[in-house]
A and B are shown apart, each in its own frame.
Chain A
Amino acid sequence: MGSAINEPLETTRRGKRSTQQERAKEKLSRTWPLHLMLLPAAIITLIFAYVPMGGLIMAFQDFKPYDGMLGSKFIGLEHFRFMFEYPDSKQVIWNTLIISSLKIVFGLIVPFAFAILLNEVRKMFFKRVVQTLVYLPHFISWVILGAILTDMLGSKGIVNSALNAIGLDSVFWLGNGDWFRFTVVVSDIWQNFGFNTIVFLAALAGVNPSLYEAAEVDGANRWKQTTHITVPAMIPIAVVVGTLSLGNILNGGFDQIFNLYNSLVYDKGDIIDTFVYRTAILNGQYSFGTAVGLFKSLIGLILIVFSYRMAYKYAGYRIF
């Protein structure tokens, strides 16, 4: 998606200065229908992503719904101070970082490996079926998954019964802090790895078969082909996926945690979003919620910019 926009830009840049304007004009006359098709998306983004940013003003106000956004009193950085002085903030931010880093790392490794394995499958039908099946859980709401998992992982659930059957002790998956993190990360990967698998498979479909033929002629076995052709072909797209997911480092996954957590695992499982839900939404402190949201977005932005620079410097890859 990125490279398609990239290439014409590159050619323009390489063009001679004198003809640059002419070429741009000529190109526009050729591509204007494409721009027109882009317009609805641009307008929707403007309306739903940029206009609401005006609401960020609430983060600096003592917002009262009946005073409105223009009438509420400005209190500067008070909410940010509150956020950092709040006794549980450190714990909550720390939990979020741990859970989301684990999710990001394994959320990259698992589909990466899975795509390579699936790519080796010769039977097209089997490949398609598996691809669809692993993608399906992505569409199930956490409200439902939460209930299913609570039941499956319960003291008399199917998982513990299986453990007991092979002579192991029951595990209190959702009531023990460390196991809770494990459960959250594994169930998240299970739910979402199908999506990235498809992205990686798409990248693999674009690899020129002649590369494999040439490698075979040179005497490379299947493993060598994988490490020297398949993996390098996937690195750029892996960098893109990784970079984009870094923006979510402060999102631990609200729906998931909210539907799975309980008072026994607050110390290991409570994340920023669930904390904000309890403080800001339940107590009607909308300004505080906005302040935390702004803080999260800022960190996300910094991380994306940083990782993008790194990706450009070391992998030579540009998204934009």
Chain B
Amino acid sequence: MKKKWLSTLLVLTCAASIAACSGNESGGSNGGAATNKPDNTGGEATKAADAGDNGFVNGKYSTPITLTTVWGLNENGAIFKEGETIENNILTQTIKERLGIEIKYNWVVTNTNDAYKTKLRLMLSSGEKMPDVVAYRGDLETVNMLIDSGQFMPVGDLVDQYANETYKTGLELDPAIWLPITRDGSKMALPILDYAYNGDHVMWVRQDWLENVGLQAPTTIAELETVMDAFVNGDPDKDGQKNTIGLATGFKNGFNNWMTDIGFVFGAFGTMPGQWNLNTEGKLEHGSVNPAAKEALAKLKEWMDKGYISQDAALYDETAGSELFTKGEAGIMFGPNWLPAWPFPDLKTNVPGATFKAYPVPGGNDGKIGSAGGNPPSNGYLFINKDAKHPEAVLHYYNWFFENTANPQPDSEFANGFKEGYDYALLPDGTLTADIAKYPELFPGLKDKAAPPLFYALTYEGARIPSLYADTHVKLASGAAAETPYEKQEFNTRTKENTDAMKVVVDQKDIRMKNYYMGPLTETMQSKNELLNKLLNETFSKIIYGQQPLDSFDTMVENWNKSGGEQITKEVNEWYDKAK
């Protein structure tokens, strides 16, 4: 009796375990089949067709393939026509129809509070399998985690073989574009390109003030001092009061700023603070501890004493500093080409009749010259899974945008925008409009906002040709007429001052000093960055204000090295040796 009972139990257990095992197996293979099915057929098609093109013939996969991905919906790319979603919309349909590539989203989150980043990181930590392609725009820490996961393939060969000329040219503009994502010589992700030179500085000068004091725009630091002196003491605004200063600057956030920059003074002595510069020995060094910074500080102290820069400069960040210029108190300001769009309109309001013009960044008295900028034109990455059946499809996808939407020719399919009724509409008389508030009937299925199909792309904005923005404005600055849709749009929306400034930027592109360190925070940086930055900013400010003697710079350098700076320099150079 007892034996019988035991054997029944045994049989039962056995059966159960077999069922469980086979259940798992079939489940696994089912899942695999479901995801791989289109790829497999695509793969078979490859064997049938020419071996080299993976089934991609005449700009299209003859048998449609699938690319899996994940996505974080950003605010500007989350406006859909009624019935459309990120998974199924005019762009995914067009891509499927034209390229034979179907984009399949494994998951989609609304990207608030870095939800996309968090989900990606969770996937990484739980060792989940990554989709065929992952787009990421954001912090380098996550970029590094993605690379270090080992799930993605080097893309160097893919680019050589499949990227079209436009993309290749964009990448070749600055080889440093690969630095942040290079591991042991392998390029681990595709950079998503952005417009180049857009953050590089020019010297904006109040043209009416120059005329009032009877001077030419300065080209050297010495000439700049003459002009600033006239701006302080020569009553450039003709109101009979000594109430003006020379240069609008604010260094609350440091000495290398995106606007109201003061870094050019350091550049004129041969260094750039707050970043890693390449020295003559081919090593990276922190620009704030270079002896040249001491000379620049002496110069700035002189300017502070003479009233060329604001007594409150240390309290101002970039925006507050720019107000010195826009309220008509300062006559010179350094910043990007697009300042006429913001914040210079404020100047026109505050000081009617004020005129301003962009001039080249002035050099030092011994010919040294430098301004921060010139960083590689990239604003995100595409990671390709090393197990992807069709890694080359990602490049075909990106190529398509470069060819069709990045700079469409007049009268081509995408000349007016991506699709009528989505991002534009034509009025009966043939004029172009995107004003949905005024013509809601021309945008069926949409409310309040036009839909931007290009923003649904895996590359965030379709494709941007880095040199296009600058080239267009250089062309327009020379007086040529706007021809292509892109040129017309720029011509209609930008001011003449803006266009001329872009030409100044491009003419000076060789003076840019880029930040050579593009890696993640090193271990010592994590624990010591705060201490070191505080030390640098405090000493710099106090020297300029005369609260500490100039020679305290030397003590500061010594302290900086002792408190971790030396170690960080070592780590930074180790990274550079590996990355270059």
Chain A interface (Cβ within 8 Å of chain B)? 65-68, 71, 82, 86-88, 147, 150, 154-156, 172, 174-175, 262-264, 266-267, 270, 275, 278-279, 282-285
Contacts and interface: CB of A to CB of B under 8 A. Distances in A.
Interface in B365-408: none
Contact of B521 (A67, A264, A283): A283
Contact of B538 (A147, A172, A263, A282): A263
B125 interface: yes
B121 interface: yes
Contacts of A67: 125
Contact of B314 (A66, A262, A279, A283): A262
Nearest to B120: A66
Contact of A264 (B310, B530, B545): B545
6 contacts: A88-B531, A262-B541, A264-B542, A266-B534, A278-B534, A284-B141
Contacts of A65: 118, 121
A264 B543 CA distance: 10
Contacts, number: 76
A206 B314 CA distance: 50
A144 B162 CA distance: 53
Given A68-B125, A150-B315, A285-B526, 13 more contacts: A67-B125, A71-B125, A155-B310, A174-B312, A174-B315, A175-B314, A175-B545, A262-B315, A266-B537, A267-B538, A275-B530, A283-B526, A284-B141
B283 interface: no
Contacts of A68: 125
Interface in B526-574: 526-527, 529-531, 533-534, 537-538, 540-542, 545, 547, 563
Contacts of A283: 521, 525-526, 529-530
B299 interface: no
Interface in B291-320: 310-312, 314-316, 320
A284 B122 CA distance: 17
A47 B538 CA distance: 42
Contacts of B310: 155
Contacts of B533: 278
A146 to B, nearest CB: 10
B350 to A, nearest CB: 15
Nearest to B114: A65
A263 B252 contact: yes
Given A175-B545, A263-B541, A283-B526, A87 B531 contact: yes
B125 A282 contact: no
B538 A66 contact: no
Given A88-B531, A283-B521, A285-B526, A266 B538 contact: yes
Contact of A82 (B124, B311, B527): B527
Contacts of A86: 531
Contacts of A66: 121-122, 124-125, 145
A290 B177 CA distance: 37
Interface of A is mostly: loop
A275 B537 CA distance: 14
Nearest to B527: A82
A122 B526 CA distance: 61
Contacts of A275: 530
A318 B146 CA distance: 58
Given A175-B545, A263-B538, A155 B312 contact: yes
Contacts of A264: 314, 538, 541-542, 545, 547
A87 B564 CA distance: 12
- Ranked 6 nearest A-B pairs via Cβ: A155-B311, A66-B121, A263-B537, A66-B125, A263-B541, A279-B530
Contacts of A278: 530, 533-534
B300 to A, nearest CB: 14
B540 A263 contact: yes
Residue among B118, B145, B526, B534 with the highest chain A CB neighbour number at 10 A: B534
A318 B538 CA distance: 47
Contacts of B537: 263, 266
Contacts of B545: 175, 264
Contacts of B122: 66
Nearest to B311: A155
B534 A263 contact: yes
A166 B110 CA distance: 59
Interface in B94-138: 118, 121-122, 124-125
Contacts of A174: 312, 315
A283 B526 CA distance: 6
A82 B531 CA distance: 13
B252 A172 contact: no
B247 to A, nearest CB: 15
Contacts of A267: 538
A183 to B, nearest CB: 12
A68 B118 CA distance: 11
A156 B312 CA distance: 9
B571 to A, nearest CB: 15
B530 A282 contact: yes
B455 to A, nearest CB: 27
Contact of A172 (B311, B316, B531, B563): B311
Given A262-B252, A263-B314, A150 B320 contact: yes
Contact of A175 (B145, B315, B320, B525): B315
Contacts of B547: 264
A82 B540 CA distance: 27
B525 to A, nearest CB: 8
B185 to A, nearest CB: 27
Contacts of A172: 311
B104 to A, nearest CB: 25
Nearest to B540: A263
Interface in B388-439: none
A283 B537 CA distance: 17
Nearest to A278: B530
A154 B525 CA distance: 35
A156 B538 CA distance: 23
Residue among B124, B315, B533 with the highest chain A CB neighbour number at 10 A: B315
A182 B572 CA distance: 42
B262 to A, nearest CB: 13
Nearest to B312: A154
Nearest to B533: A278
A66 B128 CA distance: 13
B315 A154 contact: yes
A174 B534 CA distance: 17
A110 B531 CA distance: 37
A156 B311 CA distance: 9
Nearest to A177: B547
B548 to A, nearest CB: 10
Residue among A71, A82, A88, A283 with the highest chain B CB neighbour number at 10 A: A283
Nearest to B255: A263
Nearest to B521: A283
Contacts of B529: 283
Residue among A66, A68, A71, A82 with the highest chain B CB neighbour number at 10 A: A66
A275 B243 CA distance: 37
Contacts of A154: 311-312, 315
B534 to A, nearest CB: 6
Contacts of A175: 312, 314-315, 545
Residue among B122, B251, B312, B521 with the highest chain A CB neighbour number at 10 A: B312
